[in-house]
Structures are given as C-alpha cells and as structure tokens.
Amino acid sequence: MRILISIIMAAIATVCIVAEPSAPASNAESVVAQLTAKYDAKLAAQGARIAALEARVAALEMTDGSVAKAPISRSVVESRITSNFEGLDMDKVFILANGQIWRQTEPYIWIYISIMPKVTIYPSDSGVMKMQVEGIRRAVSVERLK
C-alpha cells in the first residue's frame, strides 16, 4: 500500500513539475509535502480500520487458535464490503454491510481497488460458498465467520 502511495505521489509531483516548468523546485516540494501529509493521514485512518477488523476477528478466535465458524447458510447473500476493497487474497477477511463476516479460503490473489463494492455470495455446485465481487470476473471460495 505504501509503495502504491509513493508511486502515486511521484506521478502527481511529476505532473505538477511538468505543468509548471517555470515554478521553483520548492513549489514542487511543497506540493509533494502536502500530498505526503494527506496520504499519511489516510494511511493512518486505514491502519485504524485494520486494527478494528483484527480485533473483531480476534473476538471470534477460539482458545486453540482456530476461528469459530458461523452456521452454514446455503442461501444467496447480496451486500457490500464495508471498507475500501484492495483485492482478493488467501485468508483475507471481508466485513459486509449486513453485518456478516467472511474469509477467503481459496489461494487466489487479485489486486483491485474499489470503495464498498457489491458482493454476491452463493453456494457452488461443489457445496462451497463462492463470493463474486463487483468488477472482478472470478468468484472465490469463502467461509462465513459471523
């Protein structure tokens, strides 16, 4: 995430420098400093959201380190992911707007950034639950935690 922010800040700084070729270097440095402060604040807020998510998952953990699973429901769930979505990855936990918490159980990585994307969770023919995220073609296997 920090690398992505650095790349975006470098690109914005380059655009600022190209857009104002007569501007002194200190102006470009000022823009970069402002953007750095802005993105550091956003990163801190994201860190707070992640800490809250980790606390909620920790509350579900059993004494032996396993995670308590919610009763299996075979109905279709349509909702939204409540936080900024940064893609799919094994063991990633997703909190939905309806209060349900799901974890990806399939080793599939896909980087895709979206704000509160729609999701559809449905039972597959093989019996596992699949989650389809708006904007991503492939559905991944998930298990319900809460």
> What is the rounded CA–CA span in Å between residue 85 and residue 5?
15
User: Do 55 and 83 reside in the same domain of the chain?
Assistant: no
pLDDT tens, position by position, 31-47 = 777 877 877 777 677 66
Amino acid at 18: V
User: Do 50 and 19 reside in the same domain of the chain?
Assistant: yes
User: Do 81 and 138 reside in the same domain of the chain?
Assistant: yes
Gyration radius of the chain's alpha carbons: 20
User: Domain count of the chain?
Assistant: 2
User: Do 81 and 36 reside in the same domain of the chain?
Assistant: no
Q: Which residue has the tokens 């063991």?
A: 91
CA–CA distances in Å: residue 39 to residues 9, 45, 62:
9, 10, 36
User: Do 8 and 35 reside in the same domain of the chain?
Assistant: yes
Q: Name the residue range of residue 19's domain.
A: 2-60
User: Do 108 and 54 reside in the same domain of the chain?
Assistant: no
Residue 69: count other Cβ atoms within 10 Å of its Cβ.
Answer: 13
DSSP 8-class letter at 122: E
Residue 92 lies in a domain: yes
Residue 18 has a pLDDT of 45
Q: What percent of the chain has pLDDT over 90?
A: 29
